[in-house]
Amino acid sequence: MFEVLLTLILAVSVSFDLNIWLKVAIFCVWAILVLPGMYAMIFGAPYVRSLKRKDFAIFELGNFGEGDRVVDLGCGDGVLIGRIAKKGVSLAVGYEMSIPTFLFAKWLSFFRKGKAEIKYGNFWKKDLMKFNKIFCFLFDRSMEKFEREVWPTLKKGTIVISNEFKMPTLKPKKVVDRVYLYEK
């Protein structure tokens, strides 16, 4: 979303009669800010918040509480992981790879009580074994990669909650309102 806006700003600014080096500088800033998010959007999922009406299913299945170490893979604006943090979990982390979305999530987190940590980064490169509950809202191709690459590395008992999208071959333990729960 922010990437589209920044691209429009780039298109408008280069259409002005600017010095070539200023245009190059604007292009470089655009590339730094936008390319990681484009990658996340194309290969993961674009920034779309989980619907509020899904809260019941997510919190019912997640049963988040004391002792839980929860991660949101691609936390977007960080609102959901912020709400999970308020359940008194031991650790709540949201990884986000789109720079403008990450900055937006960080900014929102200043106004929120609770202790969710919003971190910049590609979750595929993070150690997910320290978490006992993993939440995601990603497209099918990411769920396929998750099942193939991440699932085998998870500790026994780890819970995975996926909004809308299933892992291709694993059978969920529970499903509520198209929110899928898997237990390793």
Rule CB under 6 A: which residues touch ligand SAM? 37, 40, 44-45, 47-50, 72, 74-76, 80, 95-98, 101, 122-124, 137, 163
Measured from the CB of residue 23, what is the shortest distance to ligand SAM in angstroms? Answer: 27
Measured from the CB of residue 14, what is the shortest distance to ligand SAM in angstroms? Answer: 25
Q: Which is nearer to ligand SAM, 50 or 132 (CB)?
A: 50
Measured from the CB of residue 79, what is the shortest distance to ligand SAM in angstroms? Answer: 6
Q: Which is nearer to ligand SAM, 101 or 132 (CB)?
A: 101
Measured from the CB of residue 58, what is the shortest distance to ligand SAM in angstroms? Answer: 8
Backbone angles phi and psi of 68, in degrees to 5 = -80, 145
Q: Which is nearer to ligand SAM, 80 or 160 (CB)?
A: 80
Q: Which is nearer to ligand SAM, 98 or 132 (CB)?
A: 98
DSSP state of 44: T
How many angstroms separate the Cα of 178 from the Cα of each of 32, 43, 45? 36, 22, 17
Do the strands 69-73 and 91-96 form a parallel or antiparallel pair, or are they unpaired? parallel
Q: Which is nearer to ligand SAM, 116 or 154 (CB)?
A: 116
Nearest to 99 by CA among 81, 83, 122: 122
Measured from the CB of residue 20, what is the shortest distance to ligand SAM in angstroms? Answer: 32
Q: Which is nearer to ligand SAM, 7 or 122 (CB)?
A: 122
Measured from the CB of residue 30, what is the shortest distance to ligand SAM in angstroms? Answer: 17
Nearest to 81 by CA among 98, 106, 103: 106
Closest residue to bound ligand SAM by CB = 74
Proportion of the chain in helix, strand, coil states, percent, rounded to 5: 45, 15, 35
Residue 11: partners with Cβ closer than 8 Å, 6 or more residues away: none
CA distance 164 to 179: 6
